[in-house]
Chains A and B, each alone.
Chain A
Amino acid sequence: MFSLIRTMWTILLHMFRKRETVLYPEEKPYIPPRWRGRIILSRDPDGEERCVACYLCAVACPVDCISLQAAEDGHGRRYPEFFRINFSRCIFCGFCEEACPTYAIQLTNDFEMGEYVRQNLVYEKEDLLISGPGKHPEYNFYRMAGLSIKGKDKGEAVNEEQPVDVRDLMP
């Protein structure tokens, strides 16, 4: 008996509390910057595609919803020929972002991805690639890597010596 009354009392008190329900979409909720929402592919500070098509995000994905194919421009730079995420399978775990060695793939704080047709949840590279560096404005993988690409020869990466002259006899 007592517990019944206590329950009713508690409910009564709630009537005077502040309302938590938000009138979405008229009113937008606050989404923290580390929110794991719609996935994008970013560009490096030079404006080039950051993704080097290493397949690490794809293999990290627990639902296997990322697939891509690596290709190479004529100067050694790797990029994905196609890059597809099936968002109807994605669980927004963020493992891909964590696996990505180049900061290319990032989860954003956009969650408004509802579709009437499931097929529309399949995003290709055109749908994923943004024009900026996203959360990591500085990082440029190719400045760190030993691979030479157009505009960056051997020995020009961060912390690299000039290439060895194999015919040099000096000790």
Chain B
Amino acid sequence: MPTIYIDNKPYEVKDGQNLLHACLSLGFDIPYFCWHPAMNSVGACRQCAVKQFRDEKDTKGKIVMSCMTPAADGTRISIDDPEVKEFRACVIEWLMLNHPHDCPVCDEGGECHLQDMTVMTGHDYRRTRFRKRTHRNQDLGPFVNHEMNRCIQCYRCVRFYRDHAGGRDFDVFASHHHVYFGRQKDGTLENEFSGNLVEICPTGVFTDKSLKRHYTRKWDLQTAPSVCMHCGLGCNTIPGERYGTLRRILNRFNGEVNGYFLCDRGRYGYEFVNSSRRTRQPFIRNKESGKLVPASREESLEYLSSVLYFGAKVIGIGSPRASIEANFALRTLVGPERFFSFGERNLKMISSIIDALKNGPARSPSLREIADSDAVFVLGEDVTNTAPLLALALRQSVRQRPMERVEKFGIPLWNDSAVREGIQDEKGPLFIAGTHATKLDELATETYHGAPDDLARLGFAVAHELDPEAPAVTNPGEDVSSLARRIANALRNSRRPVVISGMSSGSEELVHAAANAAWALCRTGKDAGLCFIQNECNALGLGLMGGRSLDEAFSLMEKGETDTAIVLENDLYGNSESFLVDKFLDKCRHVIVIDHLPSKTTEKAGLILPACTFAESNGVFVNNEGRAQRFFRVFVPSDEIQDSWRWLGDAMKVSRHPVSWETDDDIIASVSREVPILNLKDVSPPAAFRVAGQKIPRQPHRYSGRTAMHADISVHEPKPPEDPDSALSFSMEGYEGMPPSPLLTRFWSPGWNSVQSVNKFQSEVGGPLRGGDPGKRLIEPAKGGAVSYFQGVPASFEPGSERLFIVPLYHIFGSDELSLLSPGIAERTPAPYIALSRKDADSLGIAGESGAEVAASGQSCRLPVKVDDSLPHGVVGLFAGSSPLRGIALPLWGRVRKTE
């Protein structure tokens, strides 16, 4: 470990760092702009100057940029030297020459890195008499607001957007003090990660457009640690509330999961929480009129006690988007035997996934590990659209191999522009096999497009190539076997290979093939990662809890073995064919639905109970890695809304069930006892946890308006709500220091008001949070033992003569239904469509982008047609999102006919 001397005191630092990184990790405050822990140094802003001395005798020293100077052994620097302090103050003064007089109307104000750095250097008075240069702004679409005058030319935005996230439609234009960061012309930012500009930009050039519509300053937001619920990756978030509505989602750093970034679906998908369509009180179907009418809490409890009598034939349908607690409460109420979860196909897949992760030798990697892997094989997933942040991780993984080469030239890896110059266009091995071309294909070493069965065959062939004991593929064909050989070689020659597959293609064989490939790698002595994507935030959690398939529930109803169903946070019409659900619900005497928004299922309910959204309740989600992560109530819901598990707890009370819970911790203790794999006890500190006898406040210490915000209703201030479920309080009072990482309600540190304050919460800047990154891995691979490969290699796909094989086409905006209630996301969502290859379109006589009639599983509708030549012959892609064909379990055979 090198020793460096800062103002003549020795400090030990980590190898291979630059001085800025090392000094910030040691807790020193050096102002900086262009450096970012995830994007390293370019030396663009000249703000991070320190004085470097040759040796002890050197008193003159020279000013260097700390972010561009290695923290080599024996380096002597001064941060407090008067000359360098003045230098830094001058730099800020220059940056401020053209800065507008905007703070009061700037959305960055109060969490602005530029404000913080200006205060830190002591520049406080404008001396210049010259005019300020101005810029025109651009309309960048529904997510990001642009106010170009505020730019300080640090180049972070363009480095993130183009270099880190692979965007093409954003750049830097013009020269000298005219440089302009934007698009070639007005228009929506196309990249899926554009929202991160809000946090990356150290000034108010890019701000959150959704926040702007109900603007609140950081110091006024009540925040709690939360977890994104818009896909299976479980990125950590900080939602902020004011006056009873959710105002924004901010990234919550978790070194193992999302790091510094979120995708736009996760950042902007929150507005369903504020929707005017929310169910805010119970509804009971009136016997005479047959209509749903608002009911009181007492009436609904009465209803529950009348249908949940002893011996009632009740079944429960859980949900992959409801918390472990809610699902477990339902399972306890109805009994494990009468608890149903996924549709048949999804249940099989999730069981295979759990089987593969639990009983095989391959470990499920975290997103950070995937970003660090040096060879990746993606099997049947359109990652950008089904697990967006994984795509961002893959964009970093293809740099690993070339970076090793660059490092050999003696270029330190933190020197970003030199590293990129050294890498040029070289990319590490990434193989993508999917049903159609995806956005990530541009990075791929090789791609392969085929029907799901053919993809699975490729996976099996790779596994067999790596380990002859893995089942072989009969007649793979020369193309496939040579591709399999190349993939196998690339994976074999890597150090940290990862195989990625998932549930979205709807093929169990793909899961098996991916597992075989990863296991075969493990057998060759590699520490291979095996990553499975699920589309829902708690799919793996529900899978681990167990439960029977929906189809069994339907047949139980058919046979008359049940007459009452409790449906938890689930729209059955999104998961099953509508005629089946119709039949099921019509036969059901009592349908009780617990949900936060009306849906087609609630329309058929006898009793609707208003549930909390993620922002209003506590809970645990298990992400695709098998990491249990707890989210906390951000604010207390109004009206009759309460946690799903509390409604179920009420139902248990009125039906005299022997079990009862008072708090979230009780139910977590119950789950951990009943379902051993879901041992959630130490996912986060319990509700009784205190630091110095105090709770952790959800409100910043400068939260304003406490004695005025409710004064229009009553001048007597209400008592802050109690929180029996967690160690957080709904108040600004409490422990102000650093709480344990799962309980971090916000990032703030004296002098550091912006998101950059996360530095202070990490054990090393850019590294894990102090005390470890939050979340608990529930599944670890089996140690040793024989690998029993999945058998059952499918036959190769044969295009039908009459029928086409329909596969789902996912969209980051559109395939997740809750996020659609955000106006910005709705604006970005495409209209439903089908896609087929030119050849198939021609043979069906569908010319151009005209419409066609699609029929499958007894349903049909007309949809516009897009031609996508990457789709294999005989395969048609169907928009996976709300369309008249929603709910059909894809893939399956169907027909496409030209419409007249």
Contact = CB atoms under 8 A, between A and B. Distances in A.
Given A59-B220, A78-B105, A171 B175 contact: yes
B709 A67 contact: yes
Interface string A53-85: 111101101011111111010000010000011
B600 interface: no
Interface string A154-171: 110101111110111001
Interface string A130-168: 000000000001001111000000110101111110111
B720 interface: no
A99 B124 CA distance: 16
A84 B714 CA distance: 13
A7 interface: no
12 contacts: A55-B110, A55-B219, A56-B104, A59-B702, A64-B705, A68-B705, A122-B711, A124-B712, A141-B104, A164-B135, A164-B180, A168-B174
B134 A166 contact: no
Interface of B: 100-105, 109-110, 130-137, 147, 149-150, 173-176, 178, 180, 212, 214-217, 219-220, 243, 702-709, 711-712, 714-715
Given A147-B147, A154-B135, A166 B705 contact: no
A61 B704 contact: yes
Interface in A88-130: 88-89, 101-102, 118-119, 121-122, 124
Contacts of A52: 104-105
A64 B132 contact: no
Contact of B109 (A54, A122, A146, A167): A54
Contacts of B712: 84, 122, 124
Nearest to B716: A118
Nearest to A144: B101
B319 to A, nearest CB: 35
Contacts of A70: 215-216
Given A78-B105, A86-B715, A146-B102, A64 B707 contact: yes
Contacts of B136: 154, 163-164
A162 B711 CA distance: 46
A34 to B, nearest CB: 24
Most buried by A among B101, B150, B173, B706: B101
Contacts of B219: 55, 59
Nearest to A68: B705
Contacts of A146: 100-102, 132, 134, 147, 149-150
Q: Which are the 6 A-B pairs with shortest beta-carbon distances?
A: A146-B100, A67-B705, A54-B104, A58-B704, A67-B708, A64-B706
Given A88-B715, A154-B136, A161-B133, A59 B708 contact: no
Contacts of B133: 161, 164
Most buried by A among B105, B214, B707, B714: B105
Given A59-B217, A59-B219, A147 B708 contact: no
A168 B178 contact: yes
Contact of B149 (A55, A121, A144, A154): A154
Given A59-B217, A72-B212, A166-B180, A145 B100 contact: yes
B702 to A, nearest CB: 5
A145 B102 contact: yes
B132 A159 contact: yes
Most buried by B among A56, A89, A121, A147: A147
A164 B217 CA distance: 31
B178 A85 contact: no
B723 to A, nearest CB: 21
Contacts of A167: 173-174
Given A65-B705, A164-B180, A168-B178, 17 more contacts: A54-B103, A59-B702, A59-B704, A66-B704, A67-B709, A70-B215, A101-B103, A118-B715, A122-B715, A146-B101, A146-B134, A154-B137, A157-B100, A163-B135, A163-B136, A164-B136, A166-B173
Contact of B104 (A64, A84, A86, A101): A101
B108 to A, nearest CB: 12
A119 B715 CA distance: 5
A165 B215 CA distance: 31
Contacts of B103: 54, 101
Nearest to A148: B137
B714 A119 contact: yes
A162 B603 CA distance: 58
A164 B174 contact: yes
A85 to B, nearest CB: 7
Contact of A162 (B134, B137, B216, B703): B134
Nearest to A154: B134
Nearest to B214: A69
Contacts of A161: 131-134
A131 to B, nearest CB: 22
Contact of A89 (B150, B702, B708, B714): B708
Nearest to B220: A55
A160 B708 contact: no
B708 A85 contact: yes
A72 B145 CA distance: 14
Contact of B708 (A84, A102, A157, A166): A84
B390 to A, nearest CB: 35
Contacts of B130: 159
Contacts of B714: 119
Contacts of A145: 100-102, 104-105
Given A85-B708, A89-B707, A146-B100, A58 B135 contact: no
Contacts of A101: 103-104
Nearest to A77: B105
Most buried by B among A67, A72, A144, A159: A67
A145 to B, nearest CB: 5
A102 to B, nearest CB: 6
Nearest to B710: A67
Given A159-B131, A164-B174, A86 B711 contact: yes
A71 to B, nearest CB: 8
A90 to B, nearest CB: 9
A155 B134 contact: yes
A144 to B, nearest CB: 5
Contacts of B134: 146, 154-155, 160-164
A55 B132 contact: no
